[in-house]
Amino acid sequence: MDPAVITLCVLAVAAFLFVTELIPLAVTAMAACTALGILGVLPSKQVYAGLSNSTVVLFGGMFVIGAAMFKTGLAEAIGIAVVKKAGTNQVPLMAAIMLVTIALSAVSSNTGTVACLMPVIIGICQAANISPSKELMPLAIAANVGGTITMIGTPPNVIVTGALSAAGLPTFGFFEFAYIGIPLSIIILVYTLFIGRHFIPDKQAGEMDEEAVKAAAEEAGASGDSAPKSKTKMWISGIILLGVVACMALGLKNLPLHTAAVTGAILCVITGCLKEKEAYAGIDWVTIFLFAGMLSVATAMEKTGAGKMIADAVVSMMGDNPNPYVLTAVLFLISNVLTQFMSNTASAALLAPIGISIAQSVGADPKPVLMALGIAASMAFATPMATPPNTLVLGPGGFSFNDYVKVGVPMCLISLVACVIIIPIFWPF
């Protein structure tokens, strides 16, 4: 059988399993690349090559640094301080919640940020006689959009970067995502404060799934005890984070992104901000293995021509010489619809290699197409199962499925328009 056909069959099975989640996402990804090796599509050296990718190392290091922020209590302390200073007026409080969540989500776990701040926000709302639902939905929204600002802010950003790397194409820089992430965050923030908040239902606090919140916080690295946190370690973890970010911003030749991240992770352990086991536990291994597995699948699609077959089929449906802007908008919509019902990471992993092939088939630069796909996968506002932050606020906010649709769909459309306008400015076709 033709290697391209075999690759497409493996991809189809992986897509089905990603959507249904009959087996864990990471297992699906690793099974896909393993199958390609067994079937002779990939040589043995390339089957698990994704695990040694520098982007995987970068992601792992930043996971540890993010875990240190939560473990020392720094992330929670920053969030509480900002939120409490905002007072008890609904709109200023909403603005403070969204701003601090966007900032924290850009450099740490979106889910962990929501899990740590949610109990505090509910307490403030109850004390001020404000409906918690009015503040919890913006919390989840901000966590989703804030992750788009840096490469490590959200897994889809890493996925699209890795796909470019696997295809031998120029990749995105660590802060390059900010060109679209910051404007998009501002747009969503302003829209929510002035228009979107009117669509958020006014409901009393429902029952909080304390076990789920605790699990999410612990997964991000937050300490489960109520003992006083060391301010010294808070400062140390903050300085390490700032130092790593500064090194990345400077683009030092002898200190590439992944080296800076690993150095920061090592310092977090050496200084006692994290114990060794806590550092291991702070790494999102699901994302790591999903990324590594699908990177090998992407390589197979490129080498066998399977990606080109899909691209040719898509392009042919859009007629001769389709407009790159229209094509990008269509791919954005596909990615955005998928991400409302399945893992954001899986959506990006499935579509990234296809997006590269489509862009190349019409003679366009793959970078703007991949950027649109990655951002679209993070704009998961329209369903409660679209992303963990949405799920976490579901119960406490007393939300229904339709509440997410009413609030989220306009934001998805706004994101589409913003991306089609802004992305080509920084990444021309």
The answer to whether 98 and 248 are in contact (CB under 8 A) is no
Q: What is the pLDDT of residue 295?
A: 82
Amino acid present at 129: N
State the pLDDT at residue 109: 78
Residue 177 · residue 153 · CB < 8 Å: yes
- Record the tokens describing residue 242, joined without a space: 């700032």
Is the model's pLDDT at 226 over the cut of 70?
A: no
Choose from 93-102, 122-131, 252-261 the range with maximum mean pLDDT. Answer: 93-102
Greatest mean pLDDT among 178-192, 303-317, 359-373: 178-192
Per-residue pLDDT band for 209 (boundaries 50, 70, 90) equals low
pLDDT in the model for residue 292: 85
Distances (CA, A) of 329 to 148, 149, 326, 413: 18, 20, 5, 11
- Most trustworthy range by pLDDT among 213-217, 272-276, 320-324: 272-276
Question: What is the residue whose two structure tokens read 């996971």?
Answer: 63
pLDDT score, position 379? 94
Q: Where are the domains of the chain?
A: 3-426
Neighbours of 396 (CB within 10 A): 24
What does the pLDDT read at residue 251? 75
User: Is residue 129 very low, low, confident or very high in pLDDT (cuts 50, 70, 90)?
Assistant: confident
Q: How confident is the model at residue 22 (pLDDT cuts 50, 70, 90)?
A: confident
Question: Given pLDDT bands bounded at 50, 70 and 90, which one contains residue 78?
Answer: confident
Note the pLDDT of residue 20.
Answer: 82
What is the Cα–Cα distance from 235 to 406, expressed in whole angstroms? 41
The predicted pLDDT at position 222 comes to 61
pLDDT of residue 419: 95
Mean pLDDT, residues 401-424 taken together: 94
- Looking at residue 385, its pLDDT comes to 84
86's tokens = 């905002």
- Provide Rg for the chain, Cα atoms: 21
For the segment 275-323, what is each residue's pLDDT rounded down to a tens digit?
A: 888 888 888 888 788 888 888 888 888 888 888 888 778 777 776 677 8
Mean pLDDT along residues 167-192:
92
Instruction: Give CA–CA dist 194/191, Å, rounded.
Output: 5
Our CA dihedral for 354, 359, 362, 364, rounded to 10 degrees, sits at 180
Lowest mean per-residue pLDDT among 98-102, 139-143, 160-164, 298-302: 298-302
Average confidence (pLDDT) over 9-35? 88
More confident position, 218 or 200: 200
Q: Are 217 and 70 in contact (CB under 8 A)?
A: yes
Lowest mean pLDDT among 134-143, 163-172, 370-379: 163-172
Does the pLDDT at position 142 exceed 90?
Answer: yes
**Residues 60, 378: contact at Cβ < 8 Å?**
no
Mean pLDDT, the chain, whole residue set = 86
Q: Which of 65-74, 164-173, 211-220, 409-418 has the lowest mean pLDDT?
A: 211-220
For 93, residues 6+ apart whose C-beta sits below 8 A from its C-beta are: 83, 86, 87, 124, 128, 130, 135
**Can you tell me the mean pLDDT for 198-210?**
74
Confidence at 219, pLDDT banded by 50, 70, 90 = low
pLDDT at position 139 over 90: yes
Percent of the chain with pLDDT over 90: 30
pLDDT band at 366 (very low <50, low <70, confident <90, very high): very high
User: Is pLDDT above 70 for 227?
Assistant: no
Through-space distance between the first and last CA atoms of the chain, rounded to whole angstroms: 36
Instruction: Please check the confidence at residue 196 and state whether its pLDDT lies above 70.
Output: yes
Average pLDDT rounded to a whole number, residues 82-99: 85
pLDDT of residue 223: 58
218 pLDDT above the threshold of 80: no
Q: Predicted confidence band at 215 (pLDDT cuts at 50, 70, 90)? A: low
Look at residues 104, 82, 97 and name the one whose alpha carbon lies nearest to residue 150.
104
